[in-house]
């Protein structure tokens, strides 16, 4: 069964497995003790730290191990902000950061600090000029991921780091998704990562604080890990994490594998819109991670789509609003202003077979079609293009048109969840003449994002949103 969710957790690297099993016998003792077993454990911990530091590109005494990548992020944010409290309490971060950064920012504002969320373009990339323009004398910290976890877009870390260095503001880089593929360039000040993203075991994070960066650890006090990460080290997992990261760096085939996976992702990016009508591929097509691609399908229930792909043998992820875990759209897709319904994220692990990608491309069209049919989407709604290249509506391609309604039509979608408000909009747009409007009443949070995205994809005009007695009213004007 092809596993296409390496961005969530990569399969355990063979070297990590060997190191984990070996260190269970040798690394169980307390590395802080002076007896034989403790000294042996300390040697393993020091060797793991040196290996990880070399792979990151820092000094061993700048790196500590944490219980997770999330803990590393919270420690980095709180520690850097606390150390610079006299300078100011202003935190800058992009709108597409991982939720751990956003949660840390929320804790900061709850404690009286301030935060500024920097907008991104439709590829999910923040402009270095925007970061530079937002730097003020009271800015204490800037947080920026090296590459996005949902769409794979790489951020201009090196350029942003240079701007921050000029302003004397530390830059925290969340390198969870990119560290498997290489060192993070630039004069960054702090860095975090998570071992299970590169094939290490879960439960190990990295926190790097470069020399000269002011840092005041917050939370439980402990003498371990330079006082920056409390608790007894999970030494077997740490050794396995460092061993797998070192193996990736030492493997001469890593670069070739990255190029191979990039080619497979390029194939997915090109073929999916050809095979499946009304699909939007998100993220930067060039400046991106080599193994990750995400796309969204109009008129599709994301939860059902993932279940059907699982039944077909494919393990994929989603940032869709139509999943059981959340009724709100992905904050990443929302910030980008792209479609969220029917979202599929594919992240290929090392060694993914080309045949598995080809089979996915064969299966996907039928799966999407069956989900749309179950939701009552007319076949003509998804696909045909009107004359002149404008997208056709259901009425344009489904035979004789229904009698036109007055120039203003109201569609009541209250109480209905994604993607039903958009489906009903698609059915209704053909019932008004060109220049007429359709107003969709909806209390589904995803409608705020997906109705404008539908207008962009289908060549219609999004007039805007206004408050309604329940939810909101979204007004669309028919262009063709």
Q: Would the pLDDT of 403 be above 60? A: no
Q: In this structure, are 143 and 227 located in the same domain?
A: yes
Residues 154 and 259 reside in one and the same domain = no
Q: Are residues 351 and 418 in the same domain?
A: no
53-67, 242-256, 264-278, 280-294: least confidently modelled range: 242-256
Please tell me the predicted confidence (pLDDT) of residue 113. Answer: 97
Question: Which CATH number characterizes residue 449's domain?
Answer: 3.30.110.40
CA distances from 278 to 85, 317, 385, 454 (A): 49, 20, 10, 9
Q: How many Å apart are CA 293 and CA 364, to the nearest integer?
A: 15
Q: Which helix (H) or strand (E) holds 296?
A: strand 292-297
CATH code of the domain in which 295 resides: 3.90.1150.10
Instruction: Count the Cβ atoms, other than its own, within 10 Å of residue 462.
Output: 15
Structure tokens at 142: 């800037």
CATH number at residue 65: 3.40.640.10
pLDDT tens profile 151-200: 999 999 999 999 999 999 999 999 999 999 999 999 999 999 999 999 99
Give DSSP secondary structure letters for 168-224: T--EEEE-TTTGGG-PPPS--SEEEEEGGGTTS-SS-EEEEE-TT------SS--SG
* pLDDT score, position 303: 87
CA 447 to chain centre: 21
What total number of domains does the chain contain? 3
Read off the pLDDT of residues 432-442 as tens digits, 9 standing for 90 and up. 999 999 999 99
Domain of residue 426 covers 402-477
Residue 397 lies in a domain: no
Burial class (CB in 10 A: 0-12, 13-18, 19+), 388: exposed
In a domain, 302, yes or no: yes
- Coil, helix or strand for 61? helix
E strand residue ranges, 17-149: 63-66, 90-94, 114-118, 139-145
Residue 299 in domain: yes
Is the dihedral angle over the CA atoms 97, 103, 108, 109 positive or is it negative? positive
Do residues 186 and 324 share a domain? no
Positions marked active-site = 322
pLDDT at residue 341 tops 80: yes
Say yes or no: 196 and 306 in one domain: no
> Quick check: is 380 in a domain?
no
Decide if 3 is inside a domain: no
Q: Is the pLDDT of residue 221 over 70?
A: yes
5, part of any domain: no
279 and 321 within one domain: yes
Of 220, 250, 280, the domain-final residue:
250
* Paired tokens of 363: 């299966």
Task: Tell me the average pLDDT across 77-102.
Answer: 97
Regarding whether 406 and 346 lie in a shared domain, the answer is no
Both 129 and 186 in one domain: the answer is yes
pLDDT confidence tier of residue 203, bands split at 50, 70 and 90 = very high
Indicate whether 275 and 139 sit together in one domain. no
Same domain for 301 and 441?
A: no
User: Both 85 and 219 in a single domain?
Assistant: yes
* Domain boundary, last residue among 250, 279, 304: 250
Per the CB < 8 A criterion, the answer to whether 181 and 290 are in contact is: yes
Q: What are φ and ψ of residue 360, in 5° steps?
A: -60, -45
> pLDDT value at position 381?
55
| Predicted confidence (pLDDT) per residue in 264-313, tens digit | 999 999 999 999 999 999 999 999 999 999 999 999 988 899 999 999 99
Please report which confidence band the pLDDT of residue 389 belongs to, taking 50, 70 and 90 as the band edges: very low
Is residue 168 included in any domain, yes or no?
Answer: yes
Q: Are residues 243 and 292 part of one domain? A: no
End position of a domain, from candidates 250, 283, 304: 250
Q: Is position 291 within any domain?
A: yes
Number of helical H runs and strand E runs in the chain: 14, 14
Q: Share the mean pLDDT of the chain.
A: 91
């Amino acid at each position: 069964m092809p596993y296409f969710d390496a961005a969530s957790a990569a399969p355990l690297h063979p070297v990590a497995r060997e190191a984990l099993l070996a260190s269970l016998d040798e690394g169980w003792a307390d590395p802080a003790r002076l007896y034989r077993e403790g000294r042996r454990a300390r040697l393993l911990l020091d060797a793991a730290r040196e290996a990880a530091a070399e792979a990151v590109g820092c000094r061993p005494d700048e790196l500590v191990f944490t219980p997770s990548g999330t803990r590393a992020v919270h420690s980095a944010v709180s520690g850097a902000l606390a150390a610079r409290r006299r300078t100011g309490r202003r935190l800058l971060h992009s709108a597409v950061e991982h939720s751990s950064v956003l949660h840390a920012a929320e804790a900061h504002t709850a404690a009286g600090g301030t935060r500024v969320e920097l907008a991104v373009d439709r590829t999910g990339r923040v402009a270095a000029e925007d970061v530079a323009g937002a730097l003020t004398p009271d800015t204490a910290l800037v947080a920026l991921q090296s590459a996005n976890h949902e769409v794979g877009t790489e951020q201009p870390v090196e350029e942003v780091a240079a701007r921050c260095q000029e302003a004397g503001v530390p830059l925290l880089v969340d390198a969870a998704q990119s560290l498997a593929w290489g060192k993070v360039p630039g004069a960054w000040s702090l860095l975090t990562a998570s071992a299970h993203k590169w094939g290490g075991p879960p439960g190990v994070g990295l926190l790097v604080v470069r020399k000269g960066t002011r840092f005041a650890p917050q939370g439980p006090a402990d003498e371990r890990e330079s006082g920056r990460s409390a608790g007894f080290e999970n030494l077997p997992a740490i050794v396995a994490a460092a061993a797998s990261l070192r193996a990736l760096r030492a493997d001469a085939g890593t670069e070739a594998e990255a190029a191979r996976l990039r080619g497979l992702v390029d194939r997915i990016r090109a073929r999916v819109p050809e095979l499946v009508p009304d699909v939007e591929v998100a993220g930067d097509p060039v400046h991106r991670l080599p193994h990750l691609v995400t796309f969204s399908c109009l008129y599709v229930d994301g939860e059902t789509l993932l279940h059907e792909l699982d039944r077909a043998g494919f393990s994929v992820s989603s940032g869709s609003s139509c999943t059981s875990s959340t009724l709100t759209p992905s904050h990443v897709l929302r910030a980008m202003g792209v479609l969220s319904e029917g979202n599929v994220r594919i992240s290929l692990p090392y060694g993914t077979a080309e045949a598995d990608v080809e089979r996915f491309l064969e299966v996907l069209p039928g799966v999407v079609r069956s989900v749309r049919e179950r939701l009552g989407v007319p076949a003509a709604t998804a696909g045909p293009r009107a004359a002149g290249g404008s997208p056709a509506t259901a009425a344009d391609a489904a035979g004789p048109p229904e009698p036109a309604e007055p120039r203003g039509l109201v569609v009541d979608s209250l109480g209905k969840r994604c993607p039903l408000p958009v489906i009903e909009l698609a059915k209704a747009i053909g019932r008004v003449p060109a220049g007429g409007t359709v107003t969709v009443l909806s209390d589904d949070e995803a409608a705020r994002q997906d109705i404008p995205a539908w207008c962009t994809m289908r060549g219609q005009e999004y007039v805007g949103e206004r408050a309604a007695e329940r939810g909101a009213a979204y007004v669309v004007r028919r262009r063709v």
